[in-house]
Amino acid sequence: MNVHESEKICRLLEDMGMQKTDKNDDADVVIFNTCCIREGAENRAFSNIMKLKSLKIRNKDLIVVVCGCMPQQKNPKYDPIKDIKVADIVLGTYNTHLLGEMLKRFVIDRKKIVDTNEYIENIELDAIRDDKYNAYVNIIYGCNNFCTYCVVPYVRGRERSRKMGDILNEVKILVAQGYKYITLLGQNVNSYGKDLNDESTFAILLANLCEIEGDFKIKFMTSHPKDLSDDVINVLSNKKMVRALHLPVQSGSDKILKLMNRKYDLNHYLSIISKVRKAVPDIAISTDIIVGFPGETEEDFESTFDLIKKIKYNQVFAYIYSKRSGTPACNMADQVPYKIKNERVNKILNEHRAIVEILSTQYLNKTFNCLIIKPNVALTDAGKDILLKEKTKQIGVFKNIEVKSLVGKTLFGEIKE
């Protein structure tokens, strides 16, 4: 999501006549698009911002902008005025569209601007897309779920869906421009349409997108297990949908899921996985896990560990629980010591590495519809490279690839005509 927001900021600045550079020394304006989902991300952003102090002494005209969800917090760990002195412009998640005006104002009066107001209306910005094949498209902003560990609902507000017609038009243009993957973005894409006063649902949106003509596929993230409907599962088997699904479980313990306010239990999650696998047998499933949530006992952790072994996820993003100020979990009893959290996350990551090795052997002699991204590289829907035994000129085209051999972790395959 942040990547796409940065793409939008780039468009806004290029439209003002600026040019992108990755070198701080060449820059007239440096933008930090921050994330505060975990403490580590916030600390990293702060230390990178602070590194600009010396550059600012050398280049008095340099303008430093800090935006994204870090300054949008009610009680930010790093205060935009007191702690982030090096920043000239600080803006929150609601007002990126005002950046151009703010820059013009700052150039004239050189007075620090801090604007984290919550604007009700969503202003859709155009983007310069960094990836040649993948285009991100926001479908819903904000989140109503209030998982007890999560800061997102506080910094991104309530759910706001874009109108279906606008999304369909944007995707039609992107497909005509040659994008091969359209990735729909939302904190919980399954909620799409609930706030619109019409018939729009996520399943209907997907079905309509699948009707668009062209050689492209649709991905989405993220999907909340509590309301992944049968209608959505039915659309997943459409050939325009990628054979990959990210379905964050967070924990395998019912007690912890309840404390997290996830609104589903393990049985419900398992029933969704089995419905999805029945509808699309070759689908790659990935997940997010939080270890060391307050109150997580060894037994609770073992339930999560068992779940990972059972589902055999293609990818697991495992995070150590991080206290976020203002969230209910922050003040819960029985916070887990860091040493234990660290041991648990490593245990999960090691187990997952072993699972990935087993899964790799299962790719042998199977055929995957892949995008050719280089003369000798094809990419599966789940983002795995298959090296081609013979080079091809059909770059940017979907082809069926049969996996012929496996050397270490590397897959080798051939185009199947």
3 state SS for the chain: CHHHHHHHHHHHHHHCCCCCCCCHHHCCEEEEEECCCCHHHHHHHHHHHHCCHHHHHHCCCCEEEEEECCCCCCCCCCCCCCCCCCCCEEECCCCHHHHHHHHHHHHHHCCCEEECCCCCCCCCCCCCCCCCCEEEEECEECCCCCCCCCCHHHHHCCCEECCHHHHHHHHHHHHHCCCCEEEEECCCHHHCCCCCCCCCCHHHHHHHHHCCCCCCEEEEECCCHHHCCHHHHHHCCCCCECCEEECCCECCCHHHHHHCCCCCCHHHHHHHHHHHHHHCCCCEEEEEEEECCCCCCHHHHHHHHHHHHHHCCCEEEEEECCCCCCCHHHHCCCCCCHHHHHHHHHHHHHHHHHHHHHHHHHCCCCEEEEEEEECCEEECCCCCEEEECCCCCCCCCEEEEEEEEEECCEEEEEECC
Q: Does residue 227 bind ligand SAH (CB under 6 A)?
A: no
Q: Does residue 149 bind ligand SAH (CB under 6 A)?
A: yes
Number of residues that bind ligand SAH (CB under 6 A): 16
Q: Does residue 69 bind ligand SAH (CB under 6 A)?
A: no
Q: Does residue 38 bind ligand SAH (CB under 6 A)?
A: yes
153 interacts with, out of ligand SF4, ligand SAH, none, CB within 5 to 8 A per kind: ligand SF4
324 interacts with, out of ligand SAH, ligand SF4, none, CB within 5 to 8 A per kind: ligand SAH
Whether the Cβ atoms of residue 102 and residue 89 lie closer than 8 Å to each other: yes
Residue from 227, 288, 351, 402 binding ligand SAH (CB under 6 A) = 288
38 interacts with, out of ligand SF4, ligand SAH, none, CB within 5 to 8 A per kind: ligand SAH
Site string for ligand SAH, 179-218 (x = CB under 6 A): --------xx------------------------------
Q: Does residue 148 bind ligand SAH (CB under 6 A)?
A: no
Site string for ligand SAH, 302-331 (x = CB under 6 A): -----------------x-xx-x-------
Could you give the CA distance from residue 118 to residue 158 in angstroms, rounded to a whole number? Answer: 11
Provide φ and ψ at 284, rounded to 5°: -90, 130
Q: Does residue 292 bind ligand SAH (CB under 6 A)?
A: no
Q: Which residues 6+ apart lie within 8 Å of 343 measured at CB?
A: none
Could you give the CA distance from residue 329 to residue 135 in angstroms, rounded to a whole number? Answer: 35
Q: Does residue 290 bind ligand SAH (CB under 6 A)?
A: yes
Residue from 157, 248, 294, 413 binding ligand SAH (CB under 6 A) = 248
Q: Quick one: 41 or 387, whose CB is closer to ligand SF4? A: 41
Residue from 12, 13, 36, 37 binding ligand SAH (CB under 6 A) = 37
Q: Does residue 335 bind ligand SAH (CB under 6 A)?
A: no
Q: How far is the CB of 166 from ligand SF4 (least distance, A)?
A: 23
What are the residues binding ligand SF4 (CB under 6 A)?
A: 143, 145-147, 150, 152-153, 187-188, 224
Whether the Cβ atoms of residue 220 and residue 183 lie closer than 8 Å to each other: yes
Pick from 218, 221, 236: nearest CA to 277 = 236
Q: How far is the CB of 286 from ligand SF4 (least distance, A)?
A: 15
Q: Does residue 224 bind ligand SAH (CB under 6 A)?
A: yes
Structure-token pair, residue 66: 């800090």
Could you give the CA distance from residue 46 to residue 144 in angstroms, rounded to a whole number? Answer: 28
Q: Does residue 251 bind ligand SAH (CB under 6 A)?
A: no
Q: Quick one: 316 or 388, whose CB is closer to ligand SF4? A: 316
238 interacts with, out of ligand SF4, ligand SAH, none, CB within 5 to 8 A per kind: none
Q: How far is the CB of 233 from ligand SF4 (least distance, A)?
A: 19
Q: How far is the CB of 223 from ligand SAH (least distance, A)?
A: 7
146 interacts with, out of ligand SF4, ligand SAH, none, CB within 5 to 8 A per kind: ligand SF4
Whether the Cβ atoms of residue 252 and residue 267 lie closer than 8 Å to each other: no
Structure-token pair, residue 172: 């039609």
Q: Quick one: 30 or 36, whose CB is closer to ligand SF4? A: 36
237 interacts with, out of ligand SAH, ligand SF4, none, CB within 5 to 8 A per kind: none
388 interacts with, out of ligand SF4, ligand SAH, none, CB within 5 to 8 A per kind: none
Q: How far is the CB of 319 from ligand SAH (least distance, A)?
A: 4
Closest residue to ligand SAH: CB criterion = 288
Binding site for ligand SAH (CB under 6 A): 37-38, 149-150, 187-188, 222, 224, 248, 250, 288, 290, 319, 321-322, 324
